[in-house]
Amino acid sequence: MKVGDKAPNFTLKNTKREDISLKSLVENGKVLILFFPLAYSSVCTEELCSTRDNMKLYNSLNANVVGISVDSFYTLREFKKSNNINFTLLSDFNKNVSTQFEAIYDDFFGMRGVAKRSAFVINQDLIVEYSEVLDEAGKQPDFKKIQEALK
């Protein structure tokens, strides 16, 4: 998924088992989608807690922040609770959305179909305005560039 592409509308379950669609996420402004490999891993926890700590900035940019991983919504619910995550987490357990966004590992330490650490900014027309897919899971997205894309 590259800048200028139309993002597919998708529907995934949140930590309350509610269906959330991309169209509903962009109703009030741009959405920042953060794909992350696995809940409770050190780099993912660092990334999402840093995002949590910067929610005032994202709110001021009228951005709806969403984290997506292939973990079950049960796991994501406990991860969200234990880390006081203050934004939506969605389960792509069946790996459909990660695959559509071309943000998925064929092999991640012997596990197949784990989401790559990625960031996408999607506008209200479902057009990708920022795209960053990291092959190295130990790196963080470029949050300064993300914030520029959200302005």
CA distance 109 to 91: 20
| pLDDT given for residue 108 in this prediction | 81
Q: Average pLDDT over the chain, rounded to whole?
A: 94
Catalytic residue from among 38, 44, 76, 149: 44
* Annotated domain spans of the chain: 11-150
| pLDDT given for residue 151 in this prediction | 86
Express each pLDDT in 47-86 by its tens digit.
999 999 999 999 999 999 999 999 999 999 999 999 999 9
Is residue 135 predicted with pLDDT exceeding 90?
Answer: no
Tokens representing 6 are 């139309």
Reply yes or no on whether 49 is catalytic. Answer: no
| pLDDT given for residue 111 in this prediction | 81
CA distance 14 to 88: 7
- Does domain 11-150 fall under CATH 3.40.30.10? My reply is yes
- As a whole number of Å, the CA-based R_g of the chain is 14
